[in-house]
């Protein structure tokens, strides 16, 4: 009788276990920031040491042709969360931390003389209308936690309002402004701090481990979006010293500071892997490793918005994506081709490598299929599931697309878009011919990975085919497409655009003979500029200028995200219009941080030349200096 009861009990237990089924796999999504395609030892770097990322690849599949949907961060992040193209969402630039709420993308109403195209103004928030990846997994029973950088909008567009149960450190901006070594400098009201000398990535990994341990007995979605290796350029001193001994100036990658930053990112990956192993969760956890855009190829000293925290390394290029052309903020391969590893225990063959073309819009539908979840009724994706590739089978895809309708002066990018179909890639540079028609570039990536040989002239039929395909994408996604700038006039020989400076309708502005040259054609000639670092007022502006015009000068300032100038926020000054150099010192009685400066140097036709400008805070420290030689701003 007892044996019979035991048999019944065992059968009942077996039936119950079968009915419950195996637990859904956990999901860990690790997103690096600005990590280039060649920025790990896994992808061939001879300098950077990333043993944990290599260990991750040994457990899963390494993709060689994985693409971000944009060469900048916020657009790519929005594509991961929605499975949609940034062109459709309207977030095409990393401006989701600004105060102004814009939900629809639009074109600027006018442009400076040197710009052939009217570029786009990006949306600044990921609208709550979208049913995000986090919301889908949460509806499927997952505990959801976001750790690190978000950059898709502050409350109510933050992770806690977009499907996550936990958000650490709960900041909407790019990261700590004062560097990655504590004490960190965060926006006001954020109290997240660490012990002096603590690295931000060490702390974020520790916080993520708490989430893993708290949810080890249920399925979870850990969204670990690292702050590294984005600027500010800062790292642990002992790691910098380690790489100082390893650098080879002949290697395109030879910045020891950046190498140290990469190792701290790899350490965080190692912490997560080690914790999954210790908790016995590794065999039921999907892991994705990816980067939001290409590596930064210019020296830190050339980035107009920031000064290097370690000036001794400021003149060294941050990294190199070679053999890929370009990097962050460029439309070439170095801007959007990314390192990517996917681990799916029991399905993906360990240590596999795959050449399938995948893109960040694909992660959402792919993860739904991997976890056995369905899209919400009526939900459509621009991406596709690449589960067949993970199973070692081909995927059915016509093409991938990227739309970047902005100027990026520091890397000479113009508003553009591309389509990649098979080995072929066509780039459309909007309005970039002298007659403001679109300029095309065509490359065969199988034969020309570095995008050196433009084949448009040799293969016009292929260019027309791909350009038509790109046009259909722009129409289908309702992309905001740049148009010819009616203010455009070619610059004279020897002149170049005054990047960042905007002129009124009565003025032209350019750089000629390494001087900011303002040509006044009427009575309301002025130029203005933004991207001014924070400082404590009152401020002083010093400048050296010469003029052959007439009238008083006026300096105006704006304290709002969008330039808003008024007489009450201005000072007048006397200008010597004698064609000789003069130095001017102007006092600005304003205590708020300045967002924009506007210079009205005259009130009549004439030519004004400026050698330099220097904005100082109340302590006399330089907040921003503008010069107009090869490195325009310091």
pLDDT digits (tens, 9 = 90+) for 467-494: 999 999 999 999 999 999 998 988 888 8
The reported pLDDT for the residue numbered 163 is 97
Q: Domains of the chain (ranges plus CATH)?
A: 21-84+128-395 (3.40.720.10), 495-627 (2.60.120.260)
Burial class (CB in 10 A: 0-12, 13-18, 19+), 591: exposed
When mean pLDDT is compared across 305-314, 324-333, 594-603, the lowest value belongs to 305-314
Sign of the C-alpha dihedral computed for residues 31, 302, 152 and 335 taken in this order: negative
The reported pLDDT for the residue numbered 22 is 65
Among 347, 399, 343, 388, residue whose Cα is nearest residue 365:
388
The reported pLDDT for the residue numbered 563 is 81
User: pLDDT (tens digit, 9 = 90+) per residue, 125-152?
Assistant: 999 999 999 999 999 999 999 999 999 9
The reported pLDDT for the residue numbered 9 is 37
Q: Are 364 and 385 in contact (CB under 8 A)?
A: no
Q: Is the pLDDT of residue 19 over 80?
A: no
Mean model confidence pLDDT for the chain:
92
> In the structure, what pLDDT confidence band is assigned to residue 531 with cuts at 50, 70 and 90?
confident
> In the structure, what pLDDT confidence band is assigned to residue 204 with cuts at 50, 70 and 90?
very high
- In whole angstroms, give the CA distance from residue 633 to residue 161: 39
The reported pLDDT for the residue numbered 303 is 63
The reported pLDDT for the residue numbered 332 is 98
Mean pLDDT of 329-352: 97
Place of tokens 């020989």: 493
Residue 91: other Cβ atoms inside 10 A = 32
Residue 223: other Cβ atoms inside 10 A = 28
When mean pLDDT is compared across 116-130, 295-309, 311-325, 582-596, the lowest value belongs to 295-309
Mean pLDDT of 554-575: 90
Mean pLDDT of 251-257: 96
The reported pLDDT for the residue numbered 299 is 85
Q: Which residue has better confidence, 3 or 89?
A: 89
Mean pLDDT of 355-382: 97
Q: Is the pLDDT of residue 4 over 50?
A: no
Mean pLDDT of 211-222: 98
Structure tokens at 57: 């690849």
Q: Is the pLDDT of residue 305 over 60?
A: no
């Amino acid at each position: 009788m007892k044996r019979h009861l035991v048999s019944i009990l065992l059968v009942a237990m077996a039936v119950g276990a079968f009915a419950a089924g195996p637990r859904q796999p956990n999901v860990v999504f690790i997103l690096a920031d600005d990590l280039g395609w060649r920025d790990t030892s896994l992808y061939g770097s001879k300098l950077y040491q990333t043993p944990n990322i290599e260990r991750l690849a040994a457990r899963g599949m390494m993709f060689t042709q994985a693409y971000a949907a944009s060469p900048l961060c916020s657009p790519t992040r929005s594509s991961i969360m929605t499975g949609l193209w940034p062109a459709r969402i309207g977030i095409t630039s990393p401006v989701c931390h600004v105060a102004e709420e814009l939900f629809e993308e639009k074109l600027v109403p006018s442009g400076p003389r040197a710009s052939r195209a009217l570029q786009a103004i990006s949306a600044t928030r990921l609208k709550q209308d979208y049913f995000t990846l986090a919301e889908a997994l949460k509806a499927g029973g997952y505990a959801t936690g976001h750790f690190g950088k978000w950059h898709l909008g502050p409350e109510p567009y933050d992770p806690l309002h977009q499907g996550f149960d936990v958000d650490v450190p709960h900041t909407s901006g790019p990261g700590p402004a004062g560097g990655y070594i504590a004490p960190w400098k965060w926006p006001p009201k954020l109290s997240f701090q660490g012990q002096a000398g603590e690295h931000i990535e060490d702390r974020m990994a520790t916080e993520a481990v708490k989430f893993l341990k708290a949810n080890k007995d249920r399925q979870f979605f850990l969204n670990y979006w690292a702050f590294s290796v984005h600027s500010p350029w800062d790292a642990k001193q002992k790691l910098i010293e380690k790489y100082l001994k390893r650098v080879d100036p002949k290697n395109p990658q030879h910045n020891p500071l950046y190498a140290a930053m990469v190792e701290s990112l790899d350490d965080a990956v190692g912490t997560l892997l080690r914790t999954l192993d210790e908790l016995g969760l590794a065999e039921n956890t999907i892991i994705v490793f990816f980067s939001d855009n290409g590596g930064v190829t210019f020296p830190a000293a050339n980035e107009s918005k920031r000064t290097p925290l370690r000036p001794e390394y400021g003149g060294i290029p941050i990294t190199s994506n070679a053999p890929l052309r370009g990097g962050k903020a460029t439309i070439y391969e170095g801007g959007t081709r990314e390192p990517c590893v996917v681990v799916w225990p029991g399905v993906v063959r360990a240590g596999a490598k795959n050449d399938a073309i995948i893109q960040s819009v694909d992660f959402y539908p792919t993860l739904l299929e991997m976890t056995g979840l369905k899209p919400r009724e009526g939900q459509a994706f621009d991406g596709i599931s690449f589960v067949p590739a993970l199973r070692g089978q081909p995927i059915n895809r016509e093409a991938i697309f990227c739309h970047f309708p902005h100027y990026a002066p520091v890397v000479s990018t113009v508003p553009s878009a591309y389509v990649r179909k098979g080995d072929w890639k066509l780039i459309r540079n909007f309005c970039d011919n002298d007659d403001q028609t679109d300029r095309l570039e065509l490359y065969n990536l199988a034969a020309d990975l570095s995008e050196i040989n433009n084949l448009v002239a040799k293969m016009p039929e292929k260019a027309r085919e791909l350009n038509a395909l790109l046009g259909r994408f722009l129409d289908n996604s309702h992309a905001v497409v740049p148009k010819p700038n009616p203010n455009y006039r070619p610059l004279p020989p020897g002149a170049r655009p005054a990047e960042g400076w905007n002129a009124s309708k009565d003025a032209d502005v350019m750089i000629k003979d390494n001087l900011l040259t303002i040509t006044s054609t009427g009575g309301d000639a002025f130029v203005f500029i933004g991207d001014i670092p924070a400082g404590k007022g009152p401020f002083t502006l010093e400048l050296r200028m010469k003029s052959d015009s007439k009238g008083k000068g006026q300096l105006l300032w704006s304290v709002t995200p969008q330039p808003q100038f008024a007489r009450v926020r201005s000072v007048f000054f006397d200008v010597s219009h004698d064609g000789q150099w003069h130095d001017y010192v102007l006092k600005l009685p304003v205590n708020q941080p300045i967002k924009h400066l506007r210079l009205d140097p005259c009130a009549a036709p004439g030519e004004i030349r400026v050698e330099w400008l220097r904005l100082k805070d109340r302590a006399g420290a330089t907040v921003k200096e503008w010069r107009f030689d090869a490195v325009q701003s310091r």
